[in-house]
Structures are given as C-alpha cells and as structure tokens.
Amino acid sequence: MSQLPGKRILLVIGGGVAAYKTLDLIRRLLERGAFVRAVMTAAAHHFVTPLSVASLSGEQVFADLFALTSEATMGHIELSRDADLVVVAPATADLLAKMAHGLADDLASTLLLATDKKILVAPAMNLRMWLAKPTQRNIAALQGDGVIFEGPQNGDMACGEYGPGRMSEPLEIVAAIEAALATDTVLPLPEGFARPSTAALKGRRVIVTSGPTHEPIDPVRYIGNRSSGKQGHAIAAAAREAGAEVTLVSGPVALADPWGVTTIHVETAREMQQAVEQALPADIFVGAAAVADWRVVEAAPEKIKKGAKNPPSLALVENPDILAAIGRRKRDRPALVAGFAAETDRLIEHAEAKRLSKGCDIIVANHVGAGANVFGGDRNEVTLISAAGRESWPNLTKTEVAARLVAAFAKKLSEARQ
C-alpha cells in the first residue's frame, strides 16, 4: 500500500543536468496522491524553469532566501518544517558539502539546516567528484546524521564518462520516499481525538477565512487584531485531508499556505469579503478570521507625523460583516455556516447571541481573555454551539480542534441529507 496519499514532500532541486528528471519525479509523486512544494537553487534555474516546476506541482516555487513576500507570509523556518519529508534531487557535490558542514548561504541550504524532518538525497555528479575523498567524507558524515541516500547509480553521464554518479530514476526515488515514510513512528492519537476519514468531505467545497485583517491608517500604521491564523489554517488543512476542495482566504499571517489548498491572500476586510464572494458557491463556510470591526474612513496618503499639540483623531466606519452576509444569504448559501466567537467575558451568552444574529449553524466559542494564550498560541479550548445544544471540548492543540471540527461538519452534512 502506498505511503504517499496526503503526504507533503518538500523537493530541493539542485543545479545539475539531472534536474530535468525532477519534473517526472513531481508527476509520479502527484499521481500517488502526494503534495509537492519545490525549492530551487540558483544553479537549478539553468536546467529547469520555475514555471515548469510550478505548473506541474501546482504550488509556488521558492528560491530566494531574502524574498520579502515569502518571508513575510511564511519564512524559511516554517517552509523547512511544514513537510513530511525533505527530498534533495539532484543532490550535487556542492549541496552535500553544505549539508555536511552546516553552511546556510541560500534558501536551499538554510532550510536543510533548519528542518526537523527526515532528509532523503538523490546524488548526481561526475564520477570523479563522487569518488573524491572530500565527497566521501561528506557522505559518511551525512549518513551518520541520519540522511537517507538513494543512489547514485552506475551509468553513462552527460560528460561522456561511465560510472557511479548517475541520479536514480524517478520511480526509484519514489520507492525510496515511500520506504522512508513507512519507517516513521506513528504516535497514538490523544484521548478523544477523532480524525475524520480521508473521504468524509469528498466532493464538497469548503471556504475558510483565517488570520486578521489590517485596515490602513496611513502607509505605515493599521488597525488589526491579534489573530495568528493558526486555527483557520489548521481547519483548511483538515478539510483538505478529509477530501474537500478547499479555498482559504487569509489575512496577513506568518504561516505557510496549507498544502493542496487554494490560498487567496488579502489584507483588508473588504478584500476578504470580495474574495469570499468570488469563491462561492460552497458546501461549507468557516469564518475563522478575526476581521477588524472598523476601518478608518479615509486613510492618510502619507505617514502621519508626531509633533502636533493634540494627537490626530481617527474617524471610523464599520467594516462589512462577512459572517453575517454568508449566514443570511438567500441565494447559494452554503449548507453549513460556522463562525467563531472570541470573547473575554460571558462566553456562552455572547456566542449564542452571535449565532442567532449572524445566521450561523454553528458557533465555535473560545475565551481569549487574559491568560488564555489563544491568539498566537498552539492550543485552544472551545465550545460548539448549535440549535441542537452545546458541546465543550477539553484543551487541545489547534490541529486537534481542526480535525474534530471537520469531523463534526461532515457529520452534520451527512445527517442533513438523511
């Protein structure tokens, strides 16, 4: 049985002639149900193009360690750890040397140093480079560190020589990837943690909003909320794992886009509303974003300077209520509309009132007062409130909360069809 369905593979493409094989490798991994996200070294661009890699993988290709947009939205540390396995193909002599000595002067070598996941390498180089004593010392060091080697094979090389140094074929690398994933230790699930089946939402369309919105005051300052987006992103990932087609509308967050999810990045509440409207129709809408309630009537075109006797006054206007607009929708309303109520007091009372006023089927209530550590934290303690009653869950990780929520959504939709 394949180990690949739903697995997230981070593929580091090195600069060698064998890089052309990575295009077929990506295709083979996708055929088996894996998700592939690629990082290319500068040298790799000479052999394959980012456009061809992105077109095959369906994911953004990363290359620049200091790319402002990528670092702002996720960062190389997040990229290095948001995978089940890191694969380096072709693993050139230069990349192996950097890995062995802990060098980190570009995105590929930095994430290889920062990752906490298994690394599998598929070497490719001239046979003299492979047999060179420095390379052999590096190989021994990496094997001692637990790096998995697939190949190289004996064969004809682009330079005209024959011998060890030819990169393994894509299907051989796929087999090695499956073997590497099969040896992972499977930890028992926490008590009461029910993971939805991979077909629980098959054929369903899900829209999730996540993170804060930033409403500009001037080009430098904004009105916003403290949301990290961790809970919303976890829900989007869990829905995808349950077989749904997922659109995630995300405000500004420092998180990686979930694998296999269509992610739309927005900044303001009005941009989020427009993106949600364009993503409809859907079977499920989950409003997990902490949308700013107000925005400045007119943002200043230039930075507001200090120095005046009185601080500037800000004229505010209410932002659109995205959750209410979806919940009260008469045409193409999702079959299930779920929202979040982040409250500092009278949690259940305020959450129930929100469910009724917004037209939601489910409200997920959580306490965000002092000491709760929900905003930015990795854990959450929620109460589900619906017309059928309420259900309180223990303190769980946000990933566990997301899996439970998706299972609850799937159950509710199934019951509605009966």
Residue whose token pair is 């802990």 = 102
User: Would you state the pLDDT for residue 257?
Assistant: 85
Binding residues: 293, 303, 320-323, 340, 354, 358
How confident is the model over 338-349, as pLDDT tens digits?
999 988 888 889
> In the numeric block, which tokens belong to residue 244?
């749904």
User: Would you state the pLDDT for residue 186?
Assistant: 41
Pick from 3-7, 51-55, 410-414 the range whose average pLDDT is largest. 51-55
Instruction: Give the DSSP H or E segment for 8.
Output: strand 8-13
Supply the residues annotated as catalytic: 159
Q: How confident is the model at residue 56 (pLDDT cuts 50, 70, 90)?
A: very high
Q: What angle do CA 187, 190, 192 make, to 5 degrees?
A: 140
Estimate to the nearest angstrom the gap between the alpha carbon of 106 and the chain centroid.
Answer: 22
Mean per-residue pLDDT, 232-252: 92
Flag whether pLDDT at 70 surpasses 90: no
Q: How far are the Cα atoms of 77, 109, 282 from residue 112, in angstroms, in the given order?
A: 10, 5, 38
The letter for the amino acid at 367 is H
- Round to whole Å and give the CA distance between 221 and 324: 28
- Round to whole Å and give the CA distance between 370 and 377: 13
**18-22, 244-248, 414-418: lowest mean pLDDT where?**
414-418
Kindly report the length of the chain. Answer: 418
- Name which residue leads in pLDDT, 185 or 50: 50
Segments making up each domain of the chain, as ranges: 8-182, 205-303+311-417
Specify the CATH number of the domain 8-182. 3.40.50.1950
Pick from 76-90, 149-163, 183-197, 360-374 the range whose average pLDDT is largest. 76-90
Flag whether pLDDT at 24 surpasses 70: yes
Asked if the domains at 8-182 and 205-303+311-417 fall in one CATH topology, the answer is: yes
What DSSP string runs through 277-290?
HHH---SEEEE--B
- Round to whole Å and give the CA distance between 143 and 100: 9
**78-87, 285-294, 330-339: lowest mean pLDDT where?**
78-87
Percentage of the residues of the chain whose pLDDT score is greater than 90: 56
Q: What angle do CA 28, 32, 38 make, to 5 degrees?
A: 55
> In the numeric block, which tokens belong to residue 229?
């987006």
How confident is the model over 201-210, as pLDDT tens digits?
988 999 999 9
- Name which residue leads in pLDDT, 148 or 162: 148
User: Would you state the pLDDT for residue 123?
Assistant: 94
Q: How far are the Cα atoms of 91, 221, 299, 301, 304 from residue 308, in angstroms, in the given order?
A: 60, 17, 18, 18, 10
The DSSP output letter for 352 is H
Binding residues for CTP: 293, 303, 320-323, 340, 354, 358
List, in sequence order, the alpha helices (H) in 261-390.
269-279, 322-327, 347-358
Flag whether pLDDT at 215 surpasses 80: yes
The fourth-level CATH superfamily of domain 205-303+311-417 is: CoaB-like (3.40.50.10300)
